[in-house]
Amino acid sequence: MLSLESIDVFYGKIHALKEVSLIVDEGEIVTLIGANGAGKTSLLRTISGLVRAKNGVIRFRGEDITRRRAEEIVAMGISHVPEGRRIFANLTVKENLEMGAFLRKEKAGVQEDLERVFALFPRLKERLRQAAGTLSGGEQQMLAIGRALMARPKLLLLDEPSMGLAPVLVQTIFSIIREINEQKTTILLIEQNAHMALSVAHRAYVIETGRIVLSGTSEELRQSEKVRAAYLGG
Nearest to 190 by CA among 7, 65, 10, 34: 34
Q: Averaged over 164-176, what is the pLDDT?
A: 86
Query: What mean pLDDT do residues 129-137 have?
Result: 92
**For 231, what's the count of Cα atoms within 13 Å in the CB-facing half-sphere?**
26
pLDDT at 1: 97
**Does 199 lie in the same domain as 103?**
no
Range of the domain at 22: 1-77+155-234
What dihedral angle (degrees, nearest 10) is formed by the CA atoms of 116, 197, 30, 10?
A: 110
168 with 190, same domain?
A: yes
Is the same domain home to 162 and 194?
yes
Spatial distance between the Cα atoms of 156 and 217, rounded to a whole number of angstroms: 20
Task: Tell me the CATH number at 42.
Answer: 3.40.50.300
Distance between CA atoms of 4 and 52, rounded to whole angstroms? 13
Instruction: Kindly indicate the confidence band of residue 234, based on its pLDDT and cuts at 50, 70 and 90.
Output: low
Q: Positive or negative, the Cα torsion across 200, 158, 212, 49?
A: positive
Residues 142 and 172 placed together within one structural domain of the fold: no
Q: Examine the domain organization and report whether 71 and 169 are in the same domain.
A: yes
Same domain, 137 and 167: no
The domain boundary, picked from 122, 137, 152, lies at 152
Nearest to 197 by CA among 147, 151, 159, 168: 159
Q: Kindly state the percentage of the chain with pLDDT values over 90.
A: 76
Q: How confident is the model at residue 167 (pLDDT cuts 50, 70, 90)?
A: confident
| Amino acid at position 103, single letter | L
**How many domains would you assign to the chain?**
2
Distance, in Å, from the CA atom of 138 to the CA atom of 182, rounded to the nearest integer, reads 22
Residue 182 shares a structural domain with residue 231? yes
pLDDT tens readout for residues 65-119: 999 999 999 999 999 999 878 899 999 999 999 999 988 888 888 888 999 999 9
- The secondary structure of residue 170, as a DSSP letter, is H
Contact 131, 92 (CB under 8 A): yes
Handedness of CA 128, 94, 117, 142 (dihedral sign): negative
Residue 54 is classified by DSSP as S
Residues near 203 by beta carbon (within 8 Å), at least 6 away in sequence = 28, 30, 31, 215, 216, 217, 218
Q: For residues 168 and 136, state if they share a domain.
A: no
Q: Evaluate the CA torsion angle 97, 103, 106, 112 in order and state its sign.
A: negative
Given 103, 137, 152, the domain boundary residue is 152
Which of 102, 118, 152 is at the close of a domain? 152
pTM for this prediction: 0.92
Return the pLDDT at 117: 92
169 & 229 share domain:
yes
3-state secondary structure of 41: helix
Shared domain for 105 and 169, answered yes or no, is no
- Classify 19 in phi/psi space as left (phi over 0), alpha (psi -120 to 50) or beta: left
For the packed helices 107-120 and 93-100, what is the interaxial angle rounded to 10 degrees? 120
Higher-pLDDT residue of 168, 98 = 98
Q: Are residues 162 and 144 in the same domain?
A: no
* Residues 70, 175 share a domain: yes
If we measure between CA atoms, which residue out of 216, 208, 157 comes closest to residue 187? 157
DSSP 3-state percent helix, strand, coil across the chain (nearest 5): 40, 25, 35
